[in-house]
Structure 1
């Protein structure tokens, strides 16, 4: 039995309960989780914005050490340090063969099947296929990416989602170039990662946008040259900082209609707008036919930073080694499994809360 933060009903609180995992089956890996980041997607699963079978162990941004492997697994071995990959690609579907593994049609399959049981025998599902808010988890072999032992677990964890998603949006989806202007709306862990990536490629100016002036210093630490408080005048303020045109690239890291419209209006004519935040299906964004034509902007959706973790994680670690990304700065709070609910309440304050699970 292992301790885990379990969601027993959507809209309810996570409870620390005992779950039974068993041994890894063929093609599976058991991981002792050391650290997990608290992501807004976990909250969306908990509150019902995103669908989730229950009971479920949430948490998808995790890092730990392999403790056992099932038959046929040779890519990792017990003792290896790994990052959990919540979107393991099959490498065989149409999207994977096209070179777009982040759109794999089978990436969510593992999340739909129970992987553990409560002490009364009730099947338990792994949130986003990983179940990282637990002392241990079992995932498919493709659900882990090996990292050097020298990478601190808390830093490895944020690579699993926040950094791949935010930096990937800048590096892969929008392909920001040196000297281009960037506006990032929403400065949580993903937005701060986007700021860092924009700085890493030499973009400028880099404008952080968030609801409170208290985020200004945090934005500056992560690469913003300017800060704008979001609201009705935010897009106009961004245009003023970019020669009256608007940003070459605007990123929405929230996923709400108002923030998407802010990013849209803050971008220049002919600019690029990338929607990184995950909104609900009831959140409707409207554009007039005239503005779509007249402004000539490109609107991108962005799944997992358009990243292939097998390629992206070594690349990002290279940027860390070169001093261009600061993973440690993304952690603004720590807690234990019992503190996940409180961490959900702090999501709007910026950065990442890291759940320290095992030492």
Structure 2
């Protein structure tokens, strides 16, 4: 079938993106679903820093590539072997499909699925194949097994989680990445306990979800840090105890003064080595520093090695919020419906597919938290 999709031809385009147009809207050929694959009509897709990091070259991927990974839609057809989804089901996409058989999946850590990591890097579906082609037959790579900036997508069954059809698509889409990654970092990776002190550095869509995650986990004090005053204001409105400019004078001393020596847990979501170093500096003795920010592969962090031992510190990564999507999407949707996880407050704007370059310029400029493309 023919679809409209946003395709990245080359990485590293200059800004502003509304002028340079790194993404072009093309008519592509989409093959029908093969074994264990599903055809999804995309209804809403979020603009995420993981897409932006491919555009600007921080996360190199093979091009041409149809971008987009955070989405919600309706099942239109299923391939052989798919028995638990049917046409008409509402689904959320997850950008790491879980094979269920490799060592990490068997340990209950599907975010580290080994076949998914290999095929996501290669730009294919988890089957190893391409379902997207230009009219001349040239294959177009898939982004994280999804390629959601399109009116339809063929994805692995293992990239989908069924959701309640009463959940609006523009809200449902957020649960596939921003909510899983941000809330999960606080609840799963950091294992925030009631009464603990938590800092979140980097208040984009994922970081603000970490603020919400820390609050719903019962943190006694949540300190939000960013360079943008507007995002700091948003963090305060969501319930952050304090909101500090990360570039301000003596910010480390201020956090330590507020927390009697440092926070129990610091969560870095800025994708910057300086932000991670700050997160480590404001973590107390015996505390935990979690990073879910995706920096360029060549970036390195400098920390005081002896403090890991003498202060019994923990420094750990968090990918997809250390979530089990089939379990955690339902949990977080339930919290949203109870009013305990107001992720809808993070929705900055809705766009059309033709507005996508303008949307990514806003994201790159720090003028948006979460923008969602709506499809008819």
TM-score, scaled to structure 1: 0.96
Structure 1 residue ranges, 4+ long, deviating more than 4 angstroms after superposition = none
Per mean C-alpha deviation after superposition, the further-off stretch among 207-216 and 253-262 is 207-216
Aligned to 1:186: 202
Aligned to 1:69: 78
Number of the residue aligned with 2:35: 26
Q: Distance in 1 between matches of 2:275 and 2:202?
A: 8
Find the aligned partners of 2:350 and 2:259 in 1 and give their Cα distance. Answer: 37
Q: Deviations over 1:148-187 (max 9, x none)?
A: 0011111111100010001000110111011101100000
By how many angstroms is 1:9 displaced?
1.3
Greater alpha carbon shift after TM alignment, 178-187 vs 316-325: 316-325
Count of aligned pairs between the two proteins: 357
The CA deviation string for residues 7-52 of structure 1, in whole angstroms up to 9 with x for no partner, is 0111240100111102111211000101111110111112221121
| Structure 1 segment 76-225 matched on structure 2, within 5 A | 76-111=85-120, 112=122, 113=124, 114-225=130-241
User: Structure 1 pair 202/350, CA: closer, same or farther in 2 (3 Å)?
Assistant: farther
- Quote the residue 2:9 is aligned against: 8
Q: Aligned residue for 1:40? A: 49
Determine the C-alpha separation between the residues in 1 that align with 2:132 and 2:144.
14
SS at match of 2:265: strand
2:292 aligned residue? 276
Q: Where do 5+ consecutive residues of structure 2 fail to align?
A: 14-21, 125-129
1:90 touches 1:104 (CA, 8 Å); kept in 2?
yes
Q: CA deviation at 1:336?
A: 1.5
Deviations 1:224-243 (A, max 9, x none): 11100012522222112112
Structure 1 stretches of 5 or more lacking a match?
Answer: none
Once the two structures are superposed, residues 241-287 of structure 1 have per-residue CA deviations (whole angstroms, 9 ceiling, x without a partner) of 112x1111100001211000111111111111000111111111012
Backbone CA RMSD of aligned residues: 1.3
Q: How far 1:339 sits from its partner (Å)?
A: 2.0
Q: Structure 1 residues 105-114 or 94-103, which shifts more?
A: 105-114
Instruction: Give the deviation of 1:213 after TM superposition.
Output: 2.2
In the TM superposition, what whole-angstrom CA distance separates every residue of 1:62-102 from its partner, at most 9, and x where no partner exists? 11001111111111111110001110111101111112111
Distance 2:72 2:308 in 1: 42
1:254 lines up with 2:264 in the alignment: no
Match of residue 258, structure 2, among 232, 237, 241: 241
Give the structure-2-normalised TM-score. 0.92
